Amino acid sequence: MFSKVLIANRGEIAVRVIRACRDLGVGTVALYSELDHDALHVRLADEAYALGGQTAAESYLNTDAILDVIERSGADGVHPGYGFFSENADFARAITERGVTFIGPPPEAIEVMGDKISARTAAEEVGVDGVPGTTDLITDPAQVRAFGEEHGYPIAIKAAYGGGGRGMKVVADESAIEASIDSAQRESLAYFGREEIYMERYLVAPRHVEVQVLADAHGNAVYLGDRDCSAQRRHQKLIEEAPAPDLPDDLRRAMGEAAVQVALGCGYTNAGTVEFLVEDGAYYYLEMNTRLQVEHPVTELVTGVDLVEQQLRVASGEPLAFTQDDVTVTGHAIEVRLNAEDPAEGAFLPSPGRIDGLKVPDGYGIRFDGGYEAGDEVSQFYDNLIGKLVVWGHDRDVAIRRTLRALDETVVDGVATTIPVDRAILEHPDFAAATHSTKWVEETLDLTGVRCEVSASDDGEPTIRRDLGVEVDGRRFSVSMWVPDQAAAAKRRRSSRAGGAGGSGDGSVTVPMQGTIVKVLVAVGDAVEAGDAICVLEAMKMENNIVAEASGEVTEVRVAPGDSVGSGDIVAVIG
Ligand code: MV4
């Protein structure tokens, strides 16, 4: 087992890994950006080191700074969490070259699965089929036309180096082929810097079912049941559950065994997830995620297996202590992601800020995996996942009711949360009947009136305990003190925050949050109306239209696709 593990991440997943290490008597090393100098993961770790910087690129993605801390701390293992460097083969190699263990799969497996075409080929080689499609790159519209004649429409054109649905275009009929190829290539180039594309038949309303796998370095691999993640919008999962409801036993078993074959076929070790689409009683392999996933706790609650403990054991060379026959699934588990976002009737507006109050639910069958406590700040620079409510019940109906009960007990003051939309999903008869697909939240769920007002905590405490970080020579030590709670007082005075795109009334169009410009929709000289989209900003894995506040002529365009912008930056000026 490791003696000291460095967690190359932040927020709830860093907290989750630190807790697992503590359970095993393994020392923990946290990293922090300037904004996170006093974050929960930093307070919980045995040691913490400064990376500097504010944005992810300046901090949690700063390879040199992280490698330097690995060396200084003497860590013998690195857990990447999810996101950041978790699926970066170069990072895994750089760590391994320094004699430190990457707590994840071999870099070769990350590479095979990072390229969607080789990921498809790898599955085909072990007899696991994807959606009918090809592993050829599209170089000529005639290929798509021929595919349409054989398999029919719609067809999905996908980015070979894509992910998260970006670069994917649905071709409804023959007339749309050329335009779809163009826009898939353009989007793919903007997001991933590569324009290779391929195609598959497009499934219109599938369910997203994924299988958790775990493999050791001695050739043993098991699957730990499945999860349904169909309740999502714009590729952001809202609610996940295990097991996937209403799957025939033989299909479930076949999918589990297929997942294990895919893992063994690419030399996989550690925890991983094989994604499938399920439609009309058939399953189709989609891709493999070579990391621990956000929704892993639902699998833990129904199997009793601590996945992070297993990751640490497998990475330190231990063989799996159980076989497939030992794995059982008991009851039902549901995870609700609590994001600092106002559902705003479907607009999902980010709501960063200080969490003035946080009361998490408790009681039988309840687990809360949080990354923040009251007094902590949710920054616009990072993922705004506050925490995850994970609930177990002896069957799905019990789990749904208990999740609603737990949400009733949950209080978050100071930032808006996605709780109202979670409630709308959990109370809906379609969700109860498990007839929902990946399209359901966007196309069927009515979000009229579903919003979250920012509530202010009303306790009159004049002081608050702050566990402050004192940094000495780039290493963090903590000191507790009681200080006047000025931020809470200021927040109480402040009126409710404005959401969406902003402007200053002088014709400048600004962005409301940090992100990347993926498309510019106007040019100097264009006439625009109030409400017209000026550009598309990608932030927190979502595309946001930045709109003009007033009508007029575009006199300046200050951004181009690929530019990084910060909150308040001017993208264009309307004269
Ligand atoms: C598909 C599909 C339908 N047919 N491929 C979206 C993200 C990427 N991982 C693959 N995705 C999809 N691929 C074919 N051939 C539908 C989706 C899809 C989806 C998949 C899983 C979870 C949510 C989704 C939401 C929209 C589309």
229-262 pLDDT per residue, tens: 999 998 999 999 999 999 999 999 999 999 999 9
Give the number of C-alpha atoms closer than 13 A to the C-alpha of residue 160, restricted to the C-beta side: 20
The pLDDT value given to residue 166: 82
- Decide if pLDDT at 499 tops 60: no
d(CA 29, CA 9): 11
Please report which confidence band the pLDDT of residue 525 belongs to, taking 50, 70 and 90 as the band edges: very high
Query: Which range is least confidently modeled, 38-47, 327-336, 481-490?
Result: 481-490
Among protein residues, the one with the nearest Cα to ligand 1's atom 16 is 203
d(CA 167, CA 546): 20
Query: Which range is least confidently modeled, 55-64, 181-190, 218-227?
Result: 181-190
Q: What single letter denotes the amino acid at residue 241?
A: E
The pLDDT value given to residue 487: 63
For 247-302, write each residue's pLDDT tens digit: 999 999 999 999 999 999 999 999 999 999 999 999 999 999 999 999 999 999 99
- Decide if pLDDT at 500 tops 60: no
Among protein residues, the one with the nearest Cα to ligand 1's atom 23 is 438
Among protein residues, the one with the nearest Cα to ligand 1's atom 22 is 208
The pLDDT value given to residue 495: 35
If you average pLDDT over residues 541-567, what whole number do you get? 89
Beta carbon of 131 within 6 Å of any ligand 1 atom:
yes
Ligand 1 centroid, distance to 334 Cα (angstroms)? 22
If you average pLDDT over residues 376-399, what whole number do you get? 97
Ligand 1 centroid, distance to 234 Cα (angstroms)? 10
Tell me the fold of 498-574. Answer: OB fold (Dihydrolipoamide Acetyltransferase, E2P) (2.40.50)
Ligand 1 centroid, distance to 518 Cα (angstroms)? 21
Q: Which pTM value belongs to this model?
A: 0.84
Beta carbon of 235 within 6 Å of any ligand 1 atom:
yes
Cβ-Cβ contacts under 8 Å for 160 (sequence gap 6 or more): 115, 116, 117, 137, 188, 194, 196, 197, 198
If you average pLDDT over residues 148-172, what whole number do you get? 91
Among protein residues, the one with the nearest Cα to ligand 1's atom 10 is 165
Tell me the fold of 4-103. Answer: Rossmann fold (3.40.50)
Please give the share of the chain, as a percent, with pLDDT higher than 70.
Answer: 95
Beta carbon of 304 within 6 Å of any ligand 1 atom:
no
For 176-208, write each residue's pLDDT tens digit: 999 999 999 998 888 888 899 999 999 999 999
The pLDDT value given to residue 559: 94
Cβ-Cβ contacts under 8 Å for 535 (sequence gap 6 or more): 517, 519, 520, 521, 522, 545, 546, 559, 571, 572
CATH number of 132-201: 3.30.1490.20
d(CA 289, CA 155): 23
Cβ-contact 268, 110 below 8 angstroms? no
Ligand 1 centroid, distance to 208 Cα (angstroms)? 8
Where do the domains of the chain lie? Answer: 4-103, 132-201, 207-443, 498-574
Q: In testing the pocket of ligand 1, which one of 116, 135, 235 has its CB within 8 Å of the most ligand atoms?
A: 235
Class of the CATH-defined domain 207-443: alpha beta
Please report which confidence band the pLDDT of residue 540 belongs to, taking 50, 70 and 90 as the band edges: confident
- Decide if pLDDT at 501 tops 80: no
Ligand 1 centroid, distance to 213 Cα (angstroms)? 21
Ligand 1 centroid, distance to 165 Cα (angstroms)? 6
Ligand 1 atom with least separation from CA of 133: 15
If you average pLDDT over residues 522-531, what whole number do you get? 91
If you average pLDDT over residues 508-513, what whole number do you get? 88
